[in-house]
Amino acid sequence: MKTLVVAFEKDGRIIPAVYEVIEAAKSLGGELLTAVLAADAEAVAADLAGRGGGKVLAVSNPALAHFNDESYAAALQELISKYKPSAVLSPATLYGKALMGRLAAILEGPMASDVTGLSVDGDKLVATRPSYGGSVVADVTAVSDDAPFFVTVRPKIYSESTEGAGEVIVEMVPDSCFETRARVTDVKVESGGSQNLAEADVIVSAGRGIKGTENVGVVRDLADALSGAFGASRAVVDAGWVPYASQVGQTGKTVNPKLYIAVGISGAIQHLVGMQSSQTIVAINKDKDAPIFNIANYSIVGDLFEIAPALTKKFKQELQN
């Protein structure tokens, strides 16, 4: 088994989810390679090599300063052709899903998205992933020997790889890889809260029960008290109370934090799909029959405008002590 992990960097640092994918790849055994594409890939390649990335393939070009799935895919095609990995893994982030989907289509390879487990059966990679809104967990095995198995791994499933001896290999790819139809000149970031939802260990989300934009602060304050990220249901986003970047659910972000607190969220299936794999779920709702309570580890039936501020006050006191 030869596995290639695709690394993404942000502001000159490898994103944490990449090290989780490296840990997943290490569990498979066999040869491990990690590809990093950036304006100056060598600047971050050493860290990857020192944290278990195996042979780190560094591709540098000014055109890689911003993510462009067309140029990234073209460069990775060159590396895949040269090293012939059995599987190509990336984090199940926006960039990872876009890139793996494009590569799978171009190379006509099998793909599994949002995977929660990886194993080896003989010489085949088996990917475990939720299906049908999480009601079914399926084991998916590649059926093609002509192309790698492309896999995106859900964040917060594996721990981060912290050590391992590796080496940096500077790779050159043809300039034609960067002759794309689209060119990214700038990136504007819309923040959904104090942290990135996909990477947060703690998420506190607001639902329609907050009644209006003037009450968003009640939930944000609780998120801040826990040093967590702020999220929201689709109903809150559609109402214009918070930006789309905060949306958790089927049409928003799929998250897997250690702690998820749902404040005033009834629990429509579209929302549950995006957060029900959270390790611990706490639900606050005045309706004792709200569907969210069916999956919650801890249920608090009551007025969120009394409970959320009380929790915020308590957590702040605990931090001060």
Q: What is the pLDDT of residues 126-145, one digit of tens each?
A: 999 887 766 678 899 987 77
The residue among 200, 204, 177, 191 whose CA lies nearest residue 262 is: 204
Number of compact structural domains in the chain: 2
Residue 2 half-sphere exposure toward CB, CA atoms < 13 A? 11
Q: What is the DSSP letter of 161?
A: P
Read off the CATH number of the domain in which 285 is found.
3.40.50.1220
- Last residue of one domain, picked from the residues 125, 146, 178: 178
Let me know whether 306 and 222 are in one domain. Answer: yes
Task: Answer whether residue 90 shows pLDDT above 90.
Answer: yes
Instruction: Output the CA–CA distances (angstroms, integers) from residue 280 to 199, 201, 204, 284, in the order listed.
Output: 16, 11, 12, 13
Instruction: State residue 165's pLDDT score.
Output: 84
Q: Which residues contact 54 (CB under 8 A, 6 or more apart)?
A: 31, 32, 33, 34, 164, 166
Mean pLDDT computed over every residue of the chain: 91
Q: Which residues contact 32 (CB under 8 A, 6 or more apart)?
A: 2, 3, 5, 22, 25, 26, 52, 53, 54, 55
Q: What is the DSSP letter of 217?
A: H
pLDDT digits (tens, 9 = 90+) for 27-81: 999 999 999 999 999 989 999 999 999 999 999 999 998 999 999 999 999 999 9
Let me know whether 171 and 316 are in one domain. Answer: no
- Bigger pLDDT: 253 or 75? 75
- Banded model confidence at residue 192, pLDDT cuts 50, 70, 90: very low
Residue 189 lies in a domain: no
Read off the CATH number of the domain in which 122 is found.
3.40.50.620
Let me know whether 283 and 204 are in one domain. Answer: yes
Amino acid symbol at 215: N
Domain that holds residue 114: 2-178
In terms of residues, how long is the chain? 321
Task: Answer whether residue 191 shows pLDDT above 60.
Answer: no
- Last residue of one domain, picked from the residues 178, 213, 247: 178
Residue 67 dihedral angles phi and psi, to the nearest 5° = -65, 130
Let me know whether 167 and 209 are in one domain. Answer: no
Let me know whether 166 and 244 are in one domain. Answer: no
